[in-house]
Amino acid sequence: MEVQVLSPEVIQDTESAPTPLGAVPTDRIDSTFGSTCIDLTSSSLDSSILAFSDEWFAPASNLTNPQPPIRRPGYFVPTGAWYDGWETRRHNPEPYDWVIIKLGVASGKVKGIEVDTAFFDGNHAEAVEVHGCFDVQEDADAKVVKKDYTGWRQVLGHRRCGASQRHAWKADDESEVTHVRLCMFPDGGIARFRLYGQVVPVFPKSREQEVELSSALMGGMVLSGSEEHFGSSKSNLLLPGRGVDMGGGWETRRSRVQGHVDWVIVRLGARGKVKRIVVDTAFYRGNYPQAMKVDAFDGEEETPTAEDARWKEVVGMQRLGPDQEHEYAGKSLSNVDEAAYTHLKMTIVPDGGVKRFRVFGTRL
């Protein structure tokens, strides 16, 4: 596979002093990016690894796994010790190893970058750089992997990395991108790569065409929720598909208090009129909620709280069943005929797991 060469204007010398500009402390990474961004390169959004310089010890595809990295001490594969990440061979003759990733969304504005070297100690990447490009031509994927492609620009300048830890920085350039290139100096291992940003959706030309307004692919965002105890992120609710097991949804702890409910607030990708709502309990069989209701809110410049008195009921309390899609449309909906909304709130009773929450409609 070809080794890509960057111009002197783009690459900084690997021996230069580290640049702490925009660094985000480890304990603030989730709070800094969690409520305003999504991981644009997550494999759960169907991102693609288009090319890489090397993956001798561990595949580059691990970089975009949405799950936290794990360790299996003492477990070996034909190439050596097993690692949950991307690891290249030693003694790289080039300045860096690289991997090119196509975003899982049409395009996105980059806000931050995370490089996690979890469990790589003594074989971790010493430094990274990240470059992006915006190319929506039909042959874009073929072009960006070529050695002579000139469309790259620096999203994150040279940053040093340490062993077995999460590193994050605010982006140097927040421009819109469709592809990114992670450069690892000089070689070694990285467990996870996260590109935090905001989706720039491509909507149908006709505003009368129904779209999934809540989808992460359309810019939908989970703003807040009561909790996500089992490590199952509430943001999973807006992912495409129905997942492959119980792990890819939102599940709350068992409640022991009379009258308890859990809730999640979603900001739609565009203000619109609600036509259908789907609540999917796929794979949740003994732990699905007993019931749920949906309320809606209109306010593009606002972030409503769960207690805001202006929420309007669009789906009254409905019983749920295990491992199935529940669709509400027509007479099952209220307060939707003459109204448009920007946010929806799903309340589950009393607790449990939901795989997907989908809101379909037409944008205004």
211 forms beta bridges with 361
Q: Report the range of poorest mean pLDDT among 18-27, 236-245, 264-273.
A: 18-27
Q: What is the mean pLDDT of residues 204-208?
A: 93
Outline where 214-352 has alpha helix (H): none
- Which DSSP helix (H) or strand (E) runs through 334? none
The reported pLDDT for the residue numbered 4 is 53
93: left (phi over 0), alpha (psi -120 to 50) or beta: alpha
Helices and strands of the chain, counted as H and E runs: 2, 24
Whether the CB-CB separation of 165 and 123 falls below 8 Å is answered with no
What are the tokens at 179? 């592809």
The reported pLDDT for the residue numbered 14 is 41
Residue 95: HSE in the Cβ half-sphere, 13 Å Cα cutoff: 16
- CA distances from residue 238 to 32, 49, 111, 220, 232 in whole angstroms, order as listed: 20, 22, 20, 7, 13
Residue 271 or 228, more confident:
271
Length, in residues, of the chain: 364
Whether the CB-CB separation of 132 and 182 falls below 8 Å is answered with no
212 forms beta bridges with 360
Q: What is the mean pLDDT of residues 255-276?
A: 97
Q: Which of 271, 276, 244, 262 is nearest to 357 (CA)?
A: 276
Report the C-alpha gap between 87 and 55 in whole angstroms: 6
Q: Report the range of poorest mean pLDDT among 8-12, 94-98, 166-170, 179-183.
A: 8-12
What are the tokens at 256? 């022991």
The reported pLDDT for the residue numbered 5 is 53
State which amino acid sits at residue 307: E
Residue 241: HSE in the Cβ half-sphere, 13 Å Cα cutoff: 8
Q: Is 167 helix (H, G, I), strand (E, B) or coil?
A: strand
pLDDT digits (tens, 9 = 90+) for 15-72: 444 445 799 999 999 999 988 999 999 999 999 999 999 999 999 999 999 999 999 9
Whether the CB-CB separation of 118 and 85 falls below 8 Å is answered with yes
Whether the CB-CB separation of 86 and 62 falls below 8 Å is answered with yes
Report the C-alpha gap between 276 and 146 in whole angstroms: 44
Q: Which of 266, 289, 280 is nearest to 215 (CA)?
A: 266
Q: Is the per-residue pLDDT at 230 higher than 90?
A: no
Residue 304 CB contacts under 8 Å (≥ 6 apart), including other chains: 265, 297, 310, 311, 343, 345
Q: Report the range of poorest mean pLDDT among 210-219, 220-229, 259-268.
A: 220-229
Whether the CB-CB separation of 51 and 95 falls below 8 Å is answered with no
- Confidence grade of residue 12 (pLDDT, cut at 50, 70, 90): very low
The reported pLDDT for the residue numbered 6 is 53
Residue 218: HSE in the Cβ half-sphere, 13 Å Cα cutoff: 24
Q: What is the mean pLDDT of residues 136-148?
A: 96
Helix, strand, coil % in the chain, rounded to nearest 5: 10, 40, 55
The reported pLDDT for the residue numbered 16 is 45
C-alpha Rg value of the chain to the nearest Å: 22
Q: What is the mean pLDDT of the chain?
A: 94
Full-model pTM: 0.90
State which amino acid sits at residue 214: S
Neighbour count for residue 81 (Cβ, 10 Å): 15
The reported pLDDT for the residue numbered 39 is 97
Rounded to the nearest 10°, the torsion over CA 250, 178, 52, 26 is -50
DSSP secondary-structure letter at 186? S
Q: What is the mean pLDDT of residues 228-247?
A: 89
The reported pLDDT for the residue numbered 290 is 98
